Amino acid sequence: MLDGLGAVDLHTGETAPTVDPVQLEAAVSMVDEQYNGLSSGRGKDTVIQLLCAFTAAGYPLDGEAWLRAFYAAGGEFKEALHIDKVVAEMQRGVKHRVKQRYVPDIVDVLRARVAE
């Protein structure tokens, strides 16, 4: 979790990269759904739709960056495995079918929320 907050590695002295604030806001939405799990249902719909929206907006599909954001938002370790799995599947080209949870311009909505 501290990696997501820009912590310093005491062995190497390197600072962990900070989390993009818009990605962090999206990760908060994922954390809000983790009570029922992120491997199916609304939780999985949330994760997949946000990952697709951010990828379409030009963000790299980087599992490490998303996990940093998820942990910084307060995500649980067991649920992080599902995010990592979905990212890996998407990188392999798997197309997921999900129910629409967000407006098509969700990334712009999250950017506006962060700017407030």
**Residue 12 lies inside a defined structural domain of this protein:** no
More confident position, 4 or 88: 88
Question: Which has more confidence, 3 or 26?
Answer: 26
Question: What does pTM read for this prediction?
Answer: 0.86
Position 1 pLDDT exceeds 50: no
7-46 pLDDT tens trace? 677 778 777 778 999 999 999 999 999 998 999 999 999 9
Residue 63 covered by a domain: yes
What is the phi/psi pair of residue 23, to 5°?
-65, -40
Q: Is residue 39 part of a domain?
A: yes
Residue 5 — very low, low, confident or very high, per pLDDT cuts 50/70/90? low
Q: Which of 109, 93, 111 is nearest to 101 (CA)?
A: 109
For residue 4, is it within any domain?
A: no
The total number of structural domains that make up the chain:
1
Asked if the structure places residue 6 within a domain, the reply is: no
Domain encompassing residue 56: 20-115
